[in-house]
Amino acid sequence: MDNENKTLDFHQFEWYLPTPPEPLLLITISSENVICLNRKLCEYVPKQIQIGINMDGTRLGLAGISDKGYRVPKNGMIKDDRLVQRIKQRGVRLPARYLVEEKEGIWLGTLIPSTPAPPTIGKTPKKPRKQGLKAMLPKQEVM
């Protein structure tokens, strides 16, 4: 009870505040041949861009272009079947995700390796069914 009467010394504590989340800049390429720039990335990239792919498809480049480029809509969805096919031809499995950062005026996306889903192992029934479904149904009495 003596401790309650003492004044609390705030200098004895090391105080923390939550760190603000870093905005992730992402490009997602869906199985439906759509290239989707997330909302944060759309805020930063120019409104007209050209898109480049490296030889193995693990890197994407976005660069501003004044004329005849891809127009970046507010929702960030760019549909181009030919471009997505080129990415697939380079061995990238869809859906694919790229983490983007800006370097020297070019937005570079690096493929995030996909983690394969673990195989689901079904439980073996303790008593396998020896007869058909009919044997499992409740029997009806005939009058």
Longest alpha-carbon distance in the chain: 88
What gap in Å lies between CA 35 and CA 50, rounded to an integer? 13
What are the structural domain ranges in the chain?
A: 30-99
pTM of the predicted structure, to 2 decimals: 0.66
What gap in Å lies between CA 109 and CA 107, rounded to an integer? 7
Task: State the pLDDT confidence band at 125, using cuts at 50, 70 and 90.
Answer: low
Q: Taking the CB of residue 77, how many other CB atoms lie within 10 A of it?
A: 15
Answer for the pair 63, 50: CB distance below 8 angstroms, yes or no. Answer: yes
Task: State the pLDDT confidence band at 39, using cuts at 50, 70 and 90.
Answer: very high
Handedness of CA 20, 26, 30, 33 (dihedral sign): positive
> Token digits for 137?
């149904």
What gap in Å lies between CA 78 and CA 37, rounded to an integer? 8
Q: Which residue has the higher pLDDT, 138 or 99?
A: 99
Residue 107, helix vs strand vs coil: strand
Q: Is the pLDDT of residue 40 over 60?
A: yes
Name the one residue in this structure whose structure tokens are 């471009």: 83
